[in-house]
Amino acid sequence: MASYTDKFRLLVDAYRDAPIPFLQLKPVTVAQWMHESGRGSSKLATDHNNFAGLKWRDEMQGFATPVTYEAHDGTDRYCKFTSIETFIHGYWHFLERPPYRGWRDHAASGADFMDFIGPIYTPTAGYATAVEGLIPEAEALLASAGNTNGTEHHPDDTHGSAEHPAKPPIKAFVASPFFSSRNGERVRRIVMHYTTSRNGRGDYSVVSRSSGESLCPLRDWPRRRNLSDGARFGQSVARQGCQCRFHRHRA
Per-10-residue mean pLDDT of the chain, 251 residues long, equals 89 94 95 96 96 96 95 89 96 96 96 97 95 96 71 38 50 53 62 53 50 50 46 51 50 39
- State phi, psi for 61 to the nearest 5 degrees: -60, 135
Tell which residue, 115, 105, 96, 11, has the closest CA to residue 57.
Answer: 96
Helix residue ranges, H only, the chain: 6-16, 26-37, 43-48, 84-94, 110-121, 127-132, 135-143, 221-224, 227-240
- Pairwise CA distance, residues 42 & 30, whole Å: 15
- Pairwise CA distance, residues 77 & 66, whole Å: 6
The pLDDT assigned to 191 comes to: 64
- Pairwise CA distance, residues 111 & 109, whole Å: 5
Which three-class secondary structure state does DSSP give residue 225? coil
Handedness of CA 171, 177, 183, 188 (dihedral sign): positive
CATH of segment(s) 6-143: 1.10.530.10
The pLDDT assigned to 172 comes to: 56
The pLDDT assigned to 104 comes to: 96
Which three-class secondary structure state does DSSP give residue 245? coil
Amino acid sitting at position 141: L
The pLDDT assigned to 148 comes to: 44
For the chain, residues classed under CATH 1.10.530.10 are: 6-143
